[in-house]
Amino acid sequence: MASTTPITLRDLAAIPVERLRGVGDKKQASLAKVDIRNLFDLVTTYPRRWIDRTNEARIADLVPGEEALVLVTIRSVTKRTTRNRRTMVNVNVGDGSGRMDLVFFNQPWRERQLKEGLHVALYGKADTYRGGLQMSNPVVDMIGDRTGKIVPIYPQSEKAQINTWEMAGWVEETLRRCAERGIADPVPERVRRRLGLIDRSEAFAGIHLPDDMKTKELARYRLAFDELLRVQLVLVLRKRALERDSLGIEHAVGGEMVQRFTASLPFPMTAAQQRTIAEINADLASGHPMHRLLQGDVGAGKTVVAVAAMLAAVDGGHQSALMAPTEVLAEQHAASVRAMLDGITVPDPDNLFGDRPLRVELLTNRVTGAARKDVLAGLADGSVDIAIGTHALIQEAVDFSSLGVVVVDEQHRFGVEQRAALREKTADGAVPDTLVMTATPIPRTAAMTVYGDLDVSILDELPPGRTPIVTMWADGPLMESGVWNDIKDEVAAGRQAYVVCPLVGESEKLEVASAEETLERLAFGELQGLRLGMLHGKLPSDEKESTMDQFRRGELDVLVATTVIEVGVDVPNATVMAILDADRFGIAQLHQLRGRVGRGQHASTCWLVTQQKEDAEGNPVVGNPRIEALVATTDGFELAEVDLDLRGEGTLMSTAQKGRSDLKLASLRRDRKLIELARAAAFDIVDSDPDLAGRPDLADELDLIFSDRDEEFLAKS
Ligand code: ADP
Ligand code: MG
């Protein structure tokens, strides 16, 4: 008896592609190469373009020199070898409006591919040639004799092993066979209705075989939502499970030490700092372990917020730890936290007559011998209140007496595993509250996907009284000479400067060479007579330290450096930065670098130096969107949005959970609103049914999509 229940994605996944008409061993192998093994893979391989037959340019409408798309029929094909032994395939094509020639160089297989009478879509630039139109090496999509008004173009057609019309045919066959029972829709009716989502069967038909572009858009919206919802469901389920299953510490917030600390600050907190501290306090006071991301631009004052959280733990008799990605940063944090907490004391049960000083200790691999033993003992017996260090803090031999709060600086260099390891280091079994800080802002909706199992606090306000950094673009040698003059003027006025060396590939060796070269050039040239120092990653650490110290003390005027100064360096007297070959850096990196100036009361300038570019015809290239964005704003969040727009999500998602493997239609860039809706829907669904017991279909879908591709993604919690 035929089943009448709708077909699930898992049902489709259980049917191998060989069951389709026309798929034999050879096609199966070709499909496997592009990861299509079953009908689920097939129907979730979406067209990369849709051509509207009624609306696309005809040959008669082509404008020489402009790229365009046309649908044509092959008329004739000839192949020959040119004098310099290249193969050349000439093809004559036509549509109702006219004819033109195509020419393919070094693609002999085109002769076999392009048979007379075939319908193809061409994308390329038409030029006039011998009185007619010609396209050379256009992108060709084999569309066969499909009849619909909208022709889907599938991704792998150009490889010629699978034509886009074959793909379309198989998808059509699959959907036709599903038509009677329909494709199951596990998204709750109320969510669908609220968001105006079309039914899933309709969506699959609409994306693959749309009648018009409007239908295709509705289908894309629906299926992109599904992708985002699945990712959010996994994240929200994990978040809720963490909250439910692990026993946290109910910290007593607003204790005496925190109060004394805030009172001792020489400035009032910004509104953003107050709000963030309140958000953190709510987490600390609750019995669930905190799991929060603190995003804040360079200089936004994250340290104060972190210290307040750490002190709340100490107030209640626990310890806290701050982990930094590098030893230099750990040392800097230790110095500044000690300075901030100078004079703060801890009630001492062993001493009836008073308190003992708060004990802040540094633990990195550079702390060795007796000093290390002493710190380790203090962590184990609870006499060390705050530990600051690198990954050394999570090594086997380190045990805490009662770790209450963990602050991790810079999420990017700190894996999930490290976070987890640190959470397990405490003797009393409670899970410490975790705060992750990052100075690399990412757009809010992207954060929801990349860090979706964390709560997010945002410090979106710089402390007042900063003199804003003026950023200028120096394009070409003439303007560059102005940069060196500016540096000389500032130095003459008692200020200091950074020169950031060109980024030269990934190799540290090249980077060192570039730094040395720049130093030499400036010392004997543009900056002759100034006191120059150099900083790069290959220097021994004592040399690095002494150079930094000299610069801090004002004994060097100019620090020539590689990107090692990107994080943590704080010299308020430095007021100029010149970044050489700035167009080689990404937006985020330029922004981080720029944050090294503008840290004192003097006005600061950041010069983005580039070598004037020329196009093929020798005209200067005007405009560089990244540089212009940096010039236009110093707001890290605004820049993050621009960055996402310019680069797409590729780089962003490389740091993300691998849940991205399911994001085929959805885009972190285009679908910002949809991400928010999906997240809200995920909370709605999970909070009314915490383990999806009432929605086995939905749970099964998550299992299908995430478990085999990426066990880590689910197991992470
Ligand atoms: P971040 O770590 O976010 O880059 P920091 O915590 O290092 O920023 O703070 C940068 C500087 O601003 C520090 O010198 C700090 O003392 C100062 N600062 C922090 N909060 C305030 C505030 N509310 N008002 C004035 N200065 C502040
Ligand atoms: Mg708590």
pLDDT at position 4 is 80
Token pair for 480: 């560059």
Neighbours of 598 (CB within 10 A): 25
* Structure confidence at residue 486 (pLDDT): 96
Which ligand neighbours the alpha carbon of 303 most closely? Answer: 1
| pLDDT given for residue 509 in this prediction | 74
- Which of 61-70, 102-111, 253-262, 448-457 has the lowest average pLDDT? 448-457
Q: Following DSSP, what letter does each residue of 677-696 receive, concatenated?
A: HHHHHHHHHHHHSTT-TT-H
Ligand 1 atom at minimal distance to the Cα of residue 459? 3
**Can you give the C-alpha Rg of the chain in angstroms?**
31
**Which of 111-120, 296-305, 455-464, 703-712 comes out lowest in average pLDDT?**
703-712
Give the position, in ligand 1's atom list, of the atom nearest the Cα of 270. Answer: 23
Ligand 1 pocket test, pick from 293, 304, 435, 592 with the greatest ligand atom count within 8 Å of Cβ, gives 304
Band the pLDDT of 654: cuts 50, 70, 90.
Answer: very low
249 alpha carbon – ligand 2 mean position (Å): 4
Q: Which atom of ligand 1 is nearest to the CA of 465?
A: 25
pLDDT-derived band of residue 506, with 50, 70 and 90 as boundaries?
Answer: low
Q: Which of 552, 685, 541 is nearest to 234 (CA)?
A: 685
The CB of 298 under 6 Å from ligand 1? The reply is: yes
462 lines ligand 1 (CB under 6 A): no
**Residue carrying the six token digits 């007042």:** 464
Residue type, 570: D
Give the whole-angstrom CA distance, residue 237 versus residue 7: 25
Ligand 1 pocket test, candidate residues 269, 293, 303, most atoms within 8 A of CB: 303
Rounded to the nearest whole angstrom, what is the distance from the C-alpha of residue 267 to the centroid of ligand 1?
A: 9
* Most confident option among 17-21, 619-623, 662-666: 17-21
Distances (CA, A) of 248 to 288, 407, 546: 5, 15, 43
Which residues sit opposite 604 in a β-bridge? 469
Ligand nearest to the CA of 242: 2
What pLDDT score does 655 carry? 38
pLDDT band at 460 (very low <50, low <70, confident <90, very high): confident
For residue 336, give the DSSP letter. H
Query: Checking DSSP bridges between strand 87-95 and strand 98-105, what pairing results, if any?
Result: antiparallel
Q: Cα–Cα–Cα angle for 652, 656, 659, nearest 5°?
A: 120
Average pLDDT over residues 448-472: 83
User: Which pLDDT tens digit goes with each residue over 371-391?
Assistant: 999 999 999 999 999 999 987
Whole-angstrom Cα distance, residue 204 to residue 191? 18
Alpha-helical runs (H) found in 179-326:
189-195, 200-208, 213-245, 256-264, 271-285, 302-315
Helix residue ranges, H only, 34-161: 39-43, 110-113
Q: How far is the CA of 289 from the centre of ligand 2 (A)?
A: 5
Cα(292) to ligand 1 centroid in Å equals 20
pLDDT of amino acid 505: 60
Report the atom number in ligand 1 closest to the C-alpha of 304: 6
Residues 6+ apart with CB under 8 A from 290: 248, 280, 283, 284, 405, 433, 434, 435, 455
DSSP 707: I
**Ligand 1 centre from 252 Cα, in Å?**
25
DSSP-derived pairing of the beta strands 132-136 and 98-105 = parallel
- How far is Cα 238 from Cα 240, in angstroms, rounded to an integer? 5
Arithmetic mean of pLDDT, 425-447: 77
Structure confidence at residue 391 (pLDDT) = 79
First to last CA, the chain: 43
Whether the CB-CB separation of 280 and 309 falls below 8 Å is answered with yes
Can you give the pLDDT at residue 259? Answer: 92
Range in 276-280, 319-323, 624-628, 651-655 the model is least confident about: 651-655
Note the residue count of the chain: 717
Q: What is the pLDDT of residue 684?
A: 95
Locate 378 and state its tokens.
């203090």
pLDDT of residue 146: 61
pLDDT at 668 over 80: no
Q: Of 26-40, 208-222, 452-466, 517-531, where does mean pLDDT reach its minimum?
A: 452-466
Q: Please state, in angstroms and rounded to a whole number, the distance separating the CA atoms of residues 251 and 624.
A: 50
How far, in Å, is the centroid of ligand 1 from the Cα of 304? Answer: 7
Q: Which atom of ligand 1 is nearest to the CA of 340?
A: 16
Residue type, 622: V
Instruction: Give the residue whose CA is nearest to atom 27 of ligand 1.
Output: 463
> According to DSSP H, which parts of 530-658 are helical?
541-552, 587-594, 625-632, 636-647, 650-653
Share of the chain above pLDDT 90, in %: 45
> Rounded distance, CA 610 to CA 81, Å?
44
What pairs with residue 78 in β-bridges?
90
Average pLDDT over residues 40-65: 85
Using alpha carbons only, what angle is made at residue 473 by residues 471 and 474, rounded to the nearest 5 degrees? 130
pLDDT, tens digit (0-9, with 9 covering 90-100), for 111-141: 988 889 888 888 888 899 888 899 998 888 7
Q: Is 273 in the pocket of ligand 1 (CB under 6 A)?
A: yes
* Contact 267 CB / ligand 1 (< 6 Å): yes
Q: Which ligand is nearest to the CA of 283?
A: 2
- Is the shortest distance between the CB of 270 and ligand 1 below 6 Å? yes
For residues 686 and 233, the answer to whether their CB atoms sit within 8 Å is: yes
How many angstroms separate the CA atoms of 262 and 285, rounded?
18
pLDDT in tens, 556-573: 999 999 877 765 577 889
Cβ of 34: how many Cβ atoms within 10 Å? 16
pLDDT at 710: 42
Check pocket membership of 440 for ligand 1, CB cut-off 6 A. Answer: no
Nearest-CA residue for atom 13 of ligand 1: 301
Determine the longest span between alpha carbons in the chain, in angstroms.
102
CA of 304 to the centre of ligand 2 (A): 19
Q: Which of residues 497 and 464 earns the better pLDDT score?
A: 497
The H-or-E segment that residue 129 falls in is: strand 119-129
Query: What's the rounded Cα separation, in Å, for the pair 139 and 24?
Result: 27
Is 300 touching ligand 1 by the criterion CB < 6 Å? yes
Q: Is 697 helix (H, G, I), strand (E, B) or coil?
A: helix
For the CA of 304, the nearest ligand: 1
301 lines ligand 1 (CB under 6 A): yes
The pLDDT-based confidence of 598 (bands split at 50, 70, 90) is: confident
* Closest by Cα among 602, 616, 527, 613 to 571: 602
Q: Select the more confidently predicted residue: 617 or 79.
A: 79
Q: Is the CB of 439 under 6 A from ligand 1?
A: yes
Over 60: is that where the pLDDT of 415 sits? Answer: no
Would you say the CB of residue 306 lies under 6 angstroms from ligand 1?
A: no
Tell me the three state secondary structure of residue 167. helix
Q: Residue 538 in 3-state DSSP?
A: coil
Nearest atom (ligand 1) to Cα of 298: 4
